Amino acid sequence: MWPREVIVPGEKIRGVYRDSKGRYGIAVVKIWNSVPHVHKKTTEAYLPLSGALRIFAGVRGRVEVLDFSRGICIVKPKTIHWAQSIGREPAEVAVFSMPAWRASDHRVVDIFALRDRARKSKRAGKKETRSRRGT
């Protein structure tokens, strides 16, 4: 089944196919500059079809550019990620997802709020450590 297009910020998802039990999905996605987001349950595998693309991921508090050297890039569940086309045209990718992609599992993330929260938590931890030492 190939339903109508789904638009999420910076992406146009078309041709979402799901098996009858929702175990996997396949979609063709045009990406300009997606916003940081996370999937609680879905693992995604990106296969470039046209154009050039960078996929960024928040890994252990750092931002990393994910590797396409083997022709496919895998993003695991609960990984904050976003993508950016390189050049003037959007990149087109096939995205394989397990379980099948659902809009309800696509959560936009404010990475600046997360960064600020992490910094506050880190400062609070340092203050607590100093108070235990008596300094």
pLDDT along the chain (135 residues), means of 10: 66 82 90 91 92 82 68 89 89 92 85 66 58 56
The pLDDT score that the predictor gives to residue 39 is 93
The CA distance from 114 to 105, in Å, is 19
Q: How far apart are CA 56 and CA 36, in angstroms?
A: 9
Beta strands 25-31 and 11-18: pairing type?
antiparallel
Q: Residue 102: its pLDDT value, please?
A: 83
**pTM given for the model:** 0.73
Omega of the bond leading into 99 within 30 degrees of 0 (cis) = yes
The residue count of the chain comes to 135
pLDDT in the model for residue 15: 74
Q: What is the pLDDT of residue 1?
A: 47
Q: Which residue matches tokens 């600020």? A: 116
- Per domain, the residue ranges of the chain are 6-109
| Predicted pLDDT of residue 103 | 80
Neighbouring residues of 3: CB distance < 8 A, sequence distance ≥ 6: 16
| 6-109 has CATH 2.60.120.10 classification | yes
